[in-house]
Amino acid sequence: MSLRREDARLAGQRIVISAGPTFEDIDPVRFIGNRSSGKMGFAIAAAAARRAADVVLVAGPVTLPTPMGLRRVDVRSAAQMHAAVLAELPADVYVGAAAVADFTPQRVAPSKIKKQAGVDTLTLELVRTTDILADVAAHAQRPRLVVGFAAETDHVEQYARGKLEKKKLDLIAANRVGIAGSGFESDDNALMVYWRDGERALGPAPKTQLADALLDLIAERLHA
């Protein structure tokens, strides 16, 4: 198989990608989750593997098949994803495409929480999870390119650039969630990608095509 000249720029590069949701356990039968399908992250990982990159895909709980030519590490919680991603450093590129839970129950009940007669409310104490993306970007073994995602409905550029700066990222891909047929659970998506002195609109397009467009941009920025 031969690669387009542009595609060859990622050959041999070590790329760590996190994808999917995280599930935060409440008790042995319940959890807090979100609706991320993992499709975007899996598409990026598959496209990077096709370009002969050395790809590690850290996957939250999803039902997607493992793309060819990469190593997959399955995790469940935000804490597990954090540990699994850090264990894969050093790397050339990190793409944080997972919808990581921002909060997790302070403690997991050891047995199933039962209803109590006459009690109509239940309070769950949640604590912040570690921001994996910000942690990777501040790490002693920081990848040369750290790429984040943001789901924004309005003030897309302002909020996305805020995260770019705050988390010290090189690129941020904002899901244009307001657009019909884009975002969570959809096969199509549209991204607005920002970096310090530039921006590019990608899509709307099928997530597989969008993954390739994002990798073109990643390869460009990696060699800028």
d(CA 124, CA 16): 33
Region near ligand CTP per CB under 6 A, out of 44-52, 93-101, 110-118, 184-192: 93-101
Asked if 78 is part of the footprint of ligand CTP (rule: CB under 6 A), the reply reads yes
Is the Cα dihedral 33, 38, 39, 44 positive or negative? positive
- In the set 14, 34, 142, 168, the catalytic residue is 34
d(CA 191, CA 197): 17
Asked if 91 is part of the footprint of ligand CTP (rule: CB under 6 A), the reply reads no
Region near ligand CTP per CB under 6 A, out of 25-33, 44-52, 147-155, 208-216: 147-155
> Closest distance between ligand CTP and the C-beta of residue 159, in Å?
6
Annotation says 175 is catalytic = no
Quick one: 46 or 150, whose CB is closer to ligand CTP?
Answer: 150
Options 43, 133, 190, 222; binder of ligand CTP; rule CB under 6 A: 133
The per-residue b/e assignment along 85-123, b for 16 or more CB within 10 angstroms, e otherwise, is: beebeebbbbbbbbbbbeebbeeeeeeeeeeeeeeeeee
Sort 45 into a burial class: Cβ within 10 Å, 0-12 / 13-18 / 19+. buried
Which residue in 131, 56, 127, 51 sits closest to 90, CA to CA?
A: 56
d(CA 22, CA 181): 23
- Site string (160-199) toward ligand CTP, x via CB under 6 A: ---x------------------------------------
Asked if 132 is part of the footprint of ligand CTP (rule: CB under 6 A), the reply reads yes
d(CA 106, CA 86): 23
Options 21, 96, 105, 203; binder of ligand CTP; rule CB under 6 A: 96
Options 150, 164, 202, 217; binder of ligand CTP; rule CB under 6 A: 150
Applying CB under 6 A, the residues found at the interface with ligand CTP are 78, 96, 98, 100, 102, 129-133, 148-151, 163
